[in-house]
Structure 1
Amino acid sequence: MISLRRIAHVSLLTRDVAEAAPRWSVEFGLAERERSADRVRLACDDEPFSVELVYSEKGGLGHVAYELSRSCTLDDARRHLEECGVGWEEKEGALEVEDAEGNRVRLLGYRREDERMRFTPQARPLANPAPGHPRRLGHVNFLTANIREQLEFYTRVLGMKVTDWLGDGGVWLHIGRDHHVMALVDKGYSHFHHLAFDVVDIGQMRAALDHLGRRGRWVAWGPVRHGIGGNIASYVRIVEEECFVELYCDMEQLEDDHEVRRWPDDRFSSNTWGQLPPRSYFRFDEAAIASERESLEMLGYPLPEEVST
């Protein structure tokens, strides 16, 4: 069997590491941990790193990494992958596999915490000098064209458990008490949608959004209160790396005997406070970006159909 402890980091491909690293650091309050000519690693707080920026001309997602539980060694994970008939590669002391749509997933060995981690965050030595930084990387979300095949991979191969369904078109999965560590939303094509940073409360979210707005970012959707998951969330588009960053707080914590729920696919399940997301929220083309930047949908200009390439 395989057992995951937590999400470890997201690796994003970027065409200009020297530009991207300070941008992520300044905009989201992340601390630089490592730097080389083609890679920079950034942390929220005490963790080794949460976001990795790697040079690539194509851009997009590099991989999502998960740490194995204390009881599951890398050898255990290898045997499990082989029993599942899933190929793997050795990458930097970790195991790397592909999900059903070719997204790379990296499995890291259990990391023993150092001595200072025994203390509560406010009592530890300062790990990140940036005020108001997020507490941690919490989860990721993917758009998919093969929700059943993807679900089978993340449950059978990686051992995640289903938390909730949104009709038949969305599924949320967990590995601990947090409502979800990842989600899959069926939109007819595969794309990494967002990574999510946990913030203390809506007050910290407000300050972060003010900061991002002054730097030219915009909220594509939010703040909202999700029915599914219960979290308060705001989604900021990152044009350069073709994804969103979610800032969230107040996520539902699961009981040991949690039973899977199937929510109706309606506005309330997505946002108990109000509207569904704009159509552009599920797209990454130039027309969608322009529509959001200028609020064209709200001004009565329909979003053009996406042109396939």
Structure 2
Amino acid sequence: MRDELERRQPTRLLPGRLPDASGDAEPRLSALAGIHHVGLRVADLDEAAERWSRQFGLTIGERHADRAYLRCGFEDYSLELIASDSPGFDHAGWELGPGRSFADLGVDGELIERPDGRAPSLLLADPDGFGVEIVEWTPRESEFPDVARLSGDLPGLHPRRLGHVNVLSEDVQRLSRFYVDDLGFRVTDYLGDEGIWLHLNADHHVHAMVQKSPTHFHHFALELADIGEMRVALDHLAKHGRWVVWGPGRHGVAASLFAYIRIPEDDLIVELYADMEQLRLDHKPRDWEDTPHSSNVWGTLPPRTYFRFDEEAIEIERGQLQALGRLPD
């Protein structure tokens, strides 16, 4: 992560389920409103900005010597690209709610300057070393819905918004405690002892973590309107040599339509999703059985390579070696 911040340990380590799992303890309200952006380190800034724009329909906004900012629609920005010799995930950006401040969070971090007169942000790291950036609330330019707004630069096919991030962790209990205890996220669901989904607003989740080794960033998700738009997006990505790692399908947990796309250049996966579950005000965390139905109600589990980011896994997917029965020894 930027400036190689040391791993930050959570303030409380308690055994068993998180505080709100049974409903006996009410978690504090978070000062955070939701996800703001994802930051990626890239080897070639110009190539990466053009690639994300051309393939995923993101609009290039501000450009600087070492950074580029892209957005899905009318938001501030959804993707921050950072020139680096070590490509990969850098950080997830989270937005404070209106009228909230860094002091409301009560966590320590490094104040950093942001481009073009934006207020400074707070940078820290979670227990797994993943970057966390807290930014101040950015008021919308218009109170009207995006579909009613005019634009001179949005492409015909573009995501509605950035929805969430997902990571692989060797200790999901420790990692989730940091987000719940220190940042005020709330638990949505458990998948046995293998996964935890967290929310900040009505969306089923803005962060998810799966118990896997080694620890690695897995994916960020871009929302589409429906499965018809997903079909158009997948046809478009296929023309650019992209392949679907898993999907299309329908998650049990979160209820969303999904398709996962491998991005080897940036050492991650992108999920295209639609129709995510919206939580009721009286939502309580649920315990899902770890069954195929929980992962995909349409019935197909992910290939083993879905949780891998090594070169062999990528070549297995690229050549469809698993389906052809030609897996390496």
Match status 1:121 vs 2:146: yes
Deviations 1:195-224 (A, max 9, x none): 100000001000000000011000000001
Q: Which residue of 1 aligns with 2:49?
A: 21
Match status 1:187 vs 2:212: yes
Distance in structure 1 (CA, Å) of the matches to 2:83 and 2:316: 29
Checking the alignment, whether the CA contact within 8 Å between 1:226 and 1:272 is kept in structure 2 is yes
Match status 1:106 vs 2:133: yes
Match status 1:257 vs 2:285: no
SS at match of 1:180: coil
User: Compared with structure 1, are the counterparts of its residues 303 and 257 closer, same or farther at alpha carbon in structure 2 (3 Å cutoff)?
Assistant: farther
Match status 1:235 vs 2:265: no
Checking the alignment, whether the CA contact within 8 Å between 1:97 and 1:106 is kept in structure 2 is yes
Checking the alignment, whether the CA contact within 8 Å between 1:138 and 1:196 is kept in structure 2 is yes
Q: Which residue of 2 aligns with 1:307?
A: none
Q: Which residue of 1 aligns with 2:243?
A: 218
Q: Which residue of 2 aligns with 1:34?
A: 62
Q: Which amino acid aligns with 1:204?
A: E
SS at match of 1:130: coil
Distance in structure 1 (CA, Å) of the matches to 2:185 and 2:152: 30
Distance in structure 2 (CA, Å) of the matches to 1:120 and 1:47: 12
SS at match of 1:100: coil
Given the two structures, how large is their TM-score scaled by the length of structure 1?
A: 0.93
Deviations 1:4-43 (A, max 9, x none): 1110000000111111110000000010111112211110
Q: Which amino acid aligns with 1:298?
A: A
Q: Which residue of 2 aligns with 1:299?
A: 324
Q: Which residue of 2 aligns with 1:95?
A: 122
Structure 2 matches for 1:284-295, cutoff 5 A? 284-295=309-320
Distance in structure 2 (CA, Å) of the matches to 1:97 and 1:76: 15
What is the aligned counterpart of 2:200 among 156, 159, 175? 175
Distance in structure 2 (CA, Å) of the matches to 1:213 and 1:224: 17
SS at match of 1:76: helix
User: Compared with structure 1, are the counterparts of its residues 303 and 184 closer, same or farther at alpha carbon in structure 2 (3 Å cutoff)?
Assistant: farther
How far off its partner does 1:303 sit? 5.9
How far off its partner does 1:275 sit? 1.2
Deviations 1:152-180 (A, max 9, x none): 10101111000001110100000000000
How far off its partner does 1:239 sit? 0.6
Q: Which amino acid aligns with 1:112?
A: P
Deviations 1:238-277 (A, max 9, x none): 0100001100000000000101111111110000112110
Distance in structure 1 (CA, Å) of the matches to 2:154 and 2:185: 34
What is the aligned counterpart of 2:272 among 240, 247, 252? 247
Q: Which residue of 2 aligns with 1:59?
A: 87
Distance in structure 2 (CA, Å) of the matches to 1:229 and 1:279: 21
Distance in structure 2 (CA, Å) of the matches to 1:269 and 1:172: 13
Task: Kindly tell me the number of residue pairs found equivalent between the two proteins.
Answer: 295
Given the two structures, how large is their TM-score scaled by the length of structure 2?
A: 0.87
Q: Which residue of 2 aligns with 1:266?
A: 291
Distance in structure 2 (CA, Å) of the matches to 1:130 and 1:303: 42
Checking the alignment, whether the CA contact within 8 Å between 2:73 and 2:154 is kept in structure 1 is no
Distance in structure 2 (CA, Å) of the matches to 1:71 and 1:169: 36
Distance in structure 1 (CA, Å) of the matches to 2:229 and 2:198: 26
Identity of aligned residues (%): 46
Distance in structure 2 (CA, Å) of the matches to 1:132 and 1:25: 10
- Structure 2: state its 5+ residue gaps: 1-27, 114-119
Distance in structure 1 (CA, Å) of the matches to 2:173 and 2:327: 31
Distance in structure 2 (CA, Å) of the matches to 1:170 and 1:160: 15
- Structure 1: state its 5+ residue gaps: 82-86, 305-309
